């Protein structure tokens, strides 16, 4: 739960600094985590979500904002696009460093070897392993086609 503590500490600091925009984004992150906690408890889980789930939430939030940036830029709303970029920067403070293209390719090769994947039917196992090891560090939308190419 170290990641959750970092977010809470950043929120407290933003309150002290009177950084309204930063505080707003941190509150959105906290609300998304709490929503996931409630859903986990409703499904019979005793505790809230762990760091892996928090990373997934943060990754999803960043991706949503990237899509919003594109939409705002296409619509000529550069002020809103800039606001979304600021939120992305705050969210990315809590995400691990993204893997480079070469590191992603090596991770895919290693996962294929570890699983012993030989056909496209093994793609789910490979992606599952990658998600377990590299949540928040790679874009799985881009990794899926790479895995598919390697297994075809």
pLDDT in tens, 28-46: 999 999 998 888 887 776 6
92-136, pLDDT tens digit by residue? 899 888 888 888 888 888 888 888 888 888 888 888 888 888 877
- pTM, 2 dp: 0.72
What integer pLDDT is reported at residue 45 of this predicted model?
Answer: 65
Do the domains 2-92 and 101-151 sit in the same CATH topology, yes or no?
Answer: no
Q: Which fold has domain 2-92?
A: Hypothetical Protein Yqey; Chain: A; domain1 (1.10.1510)
Residue-level length of the chain: 152
Q: How confident is the model at residue 48 (pLDDT cuts 50, 70, 90)?
A: confident
Say if residue 1's pLDDT is above 60: no
Q: What pLDDT sits at residue 40?
A: 81
What 3-state DSSP class applies to 77?
coil
Q: Would you kindly state where each structural domain of the chain is located, as residue ranges?
A: 2-92, 101-151
Give the phi and the psi of residue 34 in degrees, each rounded to 5: -65, -35
Residue 106: helix, strand or coil by DSSP? helix
Predicted confidence band at 51 (pLDDT cuts at 50, 70, 90)? confident
CATH topology of domain 101-151: Arc Repressor Mutant, subunit A (1.10.10)
Burial (CB < 10 A; 0-12, 13-18, 19+), residue 44, is exposed
CA 22 remoteness from chain centre:
18
Quote the pLDDT of residue 46: 65
């Amino acid at each position: 739960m170290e990641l959750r503590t970092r977010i809470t500490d950043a929120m407290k600091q933003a309150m002290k600094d009177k950084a309204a925009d930063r505080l707003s984004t941190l509150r959105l992150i906290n609300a998304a985590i709490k929503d996931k906690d409630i859903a986990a408890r409703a499904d019979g889980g005793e505790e809230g979500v762990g760091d892996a789930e928090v990373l997934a939430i943060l990754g999803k939030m960043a991706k949503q904002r990237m899509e919003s940036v594109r939409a705002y830029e296409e619509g000529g709303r550069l002020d809103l696009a800039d606001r979304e970029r600021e939120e992305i920067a705050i969210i990315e403070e809590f995400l691990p460093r993204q893997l480079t293209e070469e590191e992603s390719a090596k991770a895919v090769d290693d996962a294929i070897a570890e699983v012993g994947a030989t056909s496209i039917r093994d793609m789910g196992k490979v992606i599952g392993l990658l998600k377990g090891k590299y949540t928040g560090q790679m874009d799985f939308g881009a990794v899926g086609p790479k895995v598919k190419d390697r297994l075809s």
